Each structure stands twice: as structure tokens, then as C-alpha cells.
Amino acid sequence: MQSQAPSIQQLVNSGAVWRGVNSEALFKSSEYPPVSTGLKELDAYLSAGSQLPGGWQWGRMHEVQCPHWFMGEVHLLHAALRLAAAEQAPVFWVAPPAIPYAHTLSRLTGTGAEHIHVRATKSQEALWATESILDAGCARVVCLWANELSQTDSRKLHLAIQRKRTLGFVFTQTLSAEARSFATRIRLPQPHLQEPCKLLKRQGGWPVTLSQWPYLRQLS
Amino acid sequence: MRWFYLYFPSLQLDQMLVQMQVGQEPSAGGQEPSAGAEKTATGSLAGRSGAIVLYDPKQQTVTQVSGLARTAGIREGMALSDCWLLCEDLAAFPYRASMQRQVLYQTTRLLYRYVALICPDHPHGLWLEASSMRRLYSSEEHLLSCIDEQLGQHGIHYRSAISRSSLAAQIHARTGTSSANQVPVKALPCSPRLIQKMERMGVKTIADALKIPRSALGGKLGKEIVQVLAEYQGHRVLPMACFQPPTVFYQRLVLLADVHDWQGLRFPMKRLLNDLAAFLELRQQQTQRLQISLSHRDAPPTRLTIGMAHGCWRADDFMHLCQLKMENYELKAPVTDMSLYTRELSGRNLAEADLWNHSKHRAMPSETSLGQLLNQLQLRLGEAQVRGIQVVHHWVPEQSWEYTAGAAHIAPTPLMGRPFWVLENPELAQPEQWTLVAGPERIESGWWSGETTCRDYYKAVNREGASGWLFYDRLAQKWWLHGWFS
């Protein structure tokens, strides 16, 4: 019997065990299934159960920690962007490090989506804009690039996105494991430190390490 | 034709009383009081603040009298000094002809919803043509009750009379009479000399004048009285200018006291915005620009413009935008009066009002629409900071996309293999820091217009492993970074 304990832990870690605390997520997933991250392994870790589809949960903020920008982090959004285009819903890009190229967006998602670029000179402006967009509830995908997001700020975003059919993403270069109100926290690999991609926080499971981050490997 | 004449004995004063009531009602909380409450509150305010009159600043005579002042014995035309003797706590404000004109104009606009043919009679009255509205209203009383309700909601006192002659309606409404034998001849719009002549002849009332054969009267007193009596009997029509609904919205509100901050301006602003919303609602139009002018006592007026990428027509939306604009704005001087102006009107976007396109993907009723959201963001951050992204069919990459003022569905493109990110302005690149992995894609354009572009685009990887979009400018012989694959 003692030898089975680690295997249950392993099941919990892999997200195969459904826990009662996830009832709300399960309810939401039955109405609006999560959106794929583009990585099967990551989808499986972000699933509420082995039989359920996994991915980004609606009405939650998801953090992507990037040691450097342009490391393939946008690949995680592809499915969400396609969905927004299919639903002819707006996508907001708040304070990104460059301009999303219209031709690539059109090629990637088709012609349905409305992409809105928000330039903010101060981090507080970007935060206010994101909070307003989330509060409005009309956006399908909201992406914020911010390096100075306090616990209070993340809590504000969490409260604003609750019960909205919106996917919220925060991209940051701050590699911190300090507690934040994000449903998912993923840290992309450091290119030269041979560090793997880590899932720092997820619902219903312990932190795990992803076996690969394919986008960077393809490029290097 | 049947003419209603509405005579407003205290129009300017009525508006001031309503304004005082709205401004002094602390529990209003941004909500307009109901019609009944407004009427009651107006009365109680008058009770609290005592008798109020408006006076002519030049002649120092009373022009408009509140109910309580009338009870104290004050009448129009009395010298202001006599009024103080009659009522100790009398509040007197100067009568302003321009404001009277403005309020009459607003009242005309208000009643245009009920009657098609309205002729303002400056400065105290309005003619309404009733016979053309028979198919809409069951009776003249029905029409009058609709007008009464509307004027009651705005706290406007009036006297009315109806006649087939516009002049008769005017005279009876002004004098508060119903028949010609009650009206003295001096009420007729004749020269004082003619009136004097008639009174000497023993013609005291209009009925007396009507009894005399017209030819005899004309022979004795001249053509003027014949024409006036013909107008009174409806045989001749008064020259009148019909009201044309305005194509722009302009409204001015004089504040009763100097206002030092935005909180004090909220109530009058809400009143103006409600009127604007009603104006737009009637026309089924929207606006994309508001111009607010705040006048100061000793400084040039402050002019504020609120631009909206997406048109608005609801008072709450306007108020929210004004709130955003004003909460970080510091008034440079106390405000004495404010005005609201808009002329950029356009038809509403019917797609947003489509009842049947209410799928789960669309904004739910409780959600803010995309247009409203963009307006709010642009107002706070600046119009240039919040823009849509759109495809442009052009060979040169920096000209192959553009910002749009509002959101727009992205257009299809034939281009493939382009990066996800593009830099607004290419940055000079150090070639030794990059490893070329794909390319080149040669772009040559603009040779026909003198703006020649000769570039070879490559995909290259830097030391961090990030993949950039570089080009070699063959004319300048330099490497540039133009975007990032991600």
C-alpha cells in the first residue's frame, strides 16, 4: 500500500486526478472548453482531468515569464487568436515590445478578428487600460506586457477578468515565483542556461517541468 | 387652422428654479428627479429660499415673478425698490434677454416632438398649429395634456389659449381671458396713439371695436386698426417664422454660482447631456465629437473637446467620457457658465443594434461595447495611443500596414512567411551578432516614383536564440532589423 502513495502523487502532478476544488473550473469548461496552448504536453498539464480538454481557462489571467522577448511566446496564443477571429471578437495588445504585423495576423487567424494596439508610456497606464478592457468584457483575448506588476496589480486584473469570457495573458521579463493571482504561470527556458520550460503554477496540480520548448529549438 | 398660443410669464425664472433644485439636491446621486418630484421640489425650494424675481437691470423693474413673490403682492412692471418694501427676503436676479431667447429656443425644441408647426414669438411665447395634428391626437385637449405633461416635467409655467386666429390666441393667452369683451383695446398690437384715439371714442374692449362697421372704423382711424382686427378675427394671417429643427446641437447653461471643481459641474453637465441625448434620439443619430466651453469671470473660456472613435448617443456614455476627461483636469478659474456644442452628427451603426445578432460571442447587454471601450481608452490615453491594425497592400513592409482610428476586421493578405512582430522604424543591426538562417527575399519598389527601395530580407538568429527579420539595404549598404519572428 505504501508503494502506491507516490503514484497517486504522480497522478495528481500530471493532472489525472480531479479534485473537488476544481468544480468551478469544470463547470466553466463544460460551457466554454479551455483553449489549447498549442503544446499537447502543456494542454495535458492544464487539464482538469485526463478525459477533459486542457489549455487556457476562460476568465483567468495567465502569466508567461520570458527571459527575453521574441522567444516563441506568441505561439502559445495562436489557438486563442484563431478562436477570436472565428468569433469576430476583438484582441487587445497592450504595451507590446513591437507591433503585431497585420499580414501575419491575417494569415494566422483569418479575417475575422479586430486587433487593437494600445501604447502606454507608463506601466500604470498599461495596467489601467488592461483593467478597463477586462472590465468591459467585450474582448476575447487581452495581452499585457509588463515587468512591474505588483501583487495588488495582479489581484486587480484577476478581479476584473472573473466571470468574463476573456483570456488574459501577462508577458513579463520578471522571473519571479512570488505569489500572484494568476491561474497559470509558465516560465520559458533560458536559451543558454539549458533550463527547461517550467509550469510554475497551475490549477489542481503541483508545478511541473515541460520536457521541451519546441519553438526556440527550431530557431536555434 | 387652429392656433394654440403658449405664454410663458416666467420662463427664465422657471429654468433657474429647476437648476437650483437639481444643483442643491444632494441625494440626487447623478439621477434626474422624476417629473412629479421635480415639481414638488421646485415649490419647496421656493419656499425655502423665499420670493424670487427677475428684474430689468436698466429700468430696475420686475420682469418675472415667482409664485411666492406674487403672493406677497409683487407684479410684473413694479419698481424693484417697491418690491423690497413688500417682501423683505426677496431674491432678485437680473433678467438676461439672451438667456430668455435661449430658454425659449430649448422649449420650442422640446415641444417640436408633439407639434409639427411651431412659431416662436420672442421673448415670451409660442404658437402651435393644432389642426394639422388631428390625426395624431384625439382632441385638442389631448394635445394640450401632452404639452402640459412635458412642460410640467421641466417646471415651466404657462398660460394657453386656442383660436382660429393666431393673434386672438396670443392676446387671450397673454391676458388670461377667453372672450373679446374681456380684453381691453390696449392689448391689441397697435400704436399707442391709435389706442388712445379708440379709448377717447369710448371703445374700451376689443368687442366694442368689432361691433363698429369695419369701413366706418377704417375711415375714422385708418388702415392699421382694420388690419389688426382682420388678424384678430382670422381673416388675415400674422407673418410668422416657423421653427426649423436645428442641424447642430448647442446649449448653454448659466450657473447660479461660481463652480470651482468638476464635482460642482456634474449636475449641470448631466442636464446638458440628457438634452443632447434626447436631441440625438429624436434624429436617430450619433456624434463623435463634443465641444464643451467653460466660461470664467476674468479669464478666457476653457474649451475642451471630447473625440470619440465610435459614435455615442446615450447620456450615460457621454457622462462617463466627460468624467474620464475631467477627473484629471484642473479648472484654471471658477466657472460661471457652460455650453455644449456638437455638429458632427452621423447615422447610427445599425449593426450594433441588431436584435437577432445576439449570439454568445457578442457583447452581452451588461458588457460595454467595443466602441464605448475604445472611446474611454482613447480619451484617457490619447487617440494616437489606441488604434486598430490593418493590412495595406504595398510591397514595402513599413507601408504594408497601418493604424486605424477604430477597430476594423483585418483584411486578407496574400503574403506568407512574414514575422509576427514588426518594428515601426527599422533599427540599425550589427551583422556580426546575427546568423542568417533563411532568405533572401528581395523587395525592390518605388523606382517609378523616385523613392527607390532595394532590400534583401533574411531570417536570422541572434545570440539569445531569438529570430529576427533583417534586411540588407543595397543602396545604403547597411543591415537593418525590421521585425521578430516569435
Task: Kindly report, residue by residue over A77-96, the tens digit of the pLDDT.
Answer: 999 999 988 888 899 999 99
List alpha helices for A58-213, DSSP H.
78-86, 102-109, 123-136, 151-161
**In chain B, which residues have their Cβ closer than 8 Å to the Cβ of A125?**
380-381
Q: What backbone torsions phi and psi does residue B358 show, to the nearest 5 degrees?
A: -105, 55
User: Between chains, do A106 and B385 touch, taking CB under 8 Å as contact?
Assistant: no
> What pLDDT does B273 receive?
93
pLDDT of residue A14: 60
Tell me the pLDDT band of A15, cut-offs 50, 70 and 90.
Answer: low
pLDDT at position A6 over 70: no
pLDDT at B449 over 90: no
**Residue B485: closest CA among chain A residues belongs to which residue?**
A70
Q: Which of A46-50, B129-133, B185-189, B355-359 has the lowest average pLDDT?
A: B355-359
Rounded Cα distance between A149 and B248, Å, is 46
Give the list of residues 6+ apart from residue B391 with CB closer than 8 angstroms, or none. Answer: A102, A103, A106, B400, B401, B410, B411, B412, B413
- Nearest-neighbour CA in chain A from B380: distance (Å): 9
Q: B158 pLDDT band (50/70/90 cuts)?
A: very high
Nearest residue in chain A measured CA to CA from B395: A103
- What is the percentage of chain B residues whose pLDDT exceeds 70? 90
Residues facing B422 on adjacent strands: A99, B483
The predicted model scores a pTM of 0.61
Q: Mean pLDDT of all residues in chain B?
A: 82
For residue A97, is the peptide bond before it cis, meaning its omega torsion is within 30 degrees of 0?
Answer: no
Average pLDDT over residues A46-65: 82
The ipTM value here is: 0.84
User: Any residues with CB less than 8 A from the CB of B219 and at least 6 apart, and which?
Assistant: none
Contacts of residue B402 in chain A, CB cutoff 8 Å? 102
Contact B483 A88 (CB under 8 A): no
Q: Is the pLDDT of residue B43 over 50?
A: no
| Cβ–Cβ gap B421/A132 under 8 Å | no
A75 CA to chain B: closest CA distance, Å? 7
**Do you find a cis peptide bond into B440, omega within 30 degrees of 0?**
yes
pLDDT higher than 90, residue A208: no
Residue B291's region, left for phi above 0, alpha for psi from -120 to 50, else beta, is: beta
B24 pLDDT more than 50: no
C-alpha–C-alpha distance, residues A210 and A197, integer Å: 5
* pLDDT band at residue B35 using 50, 70 and 90 as cut-offs: very low
For an interface test with B, which of A35, A70, A197 has the most B Cβ atoms less than 10 Å from its Cβ?
Answer: A70
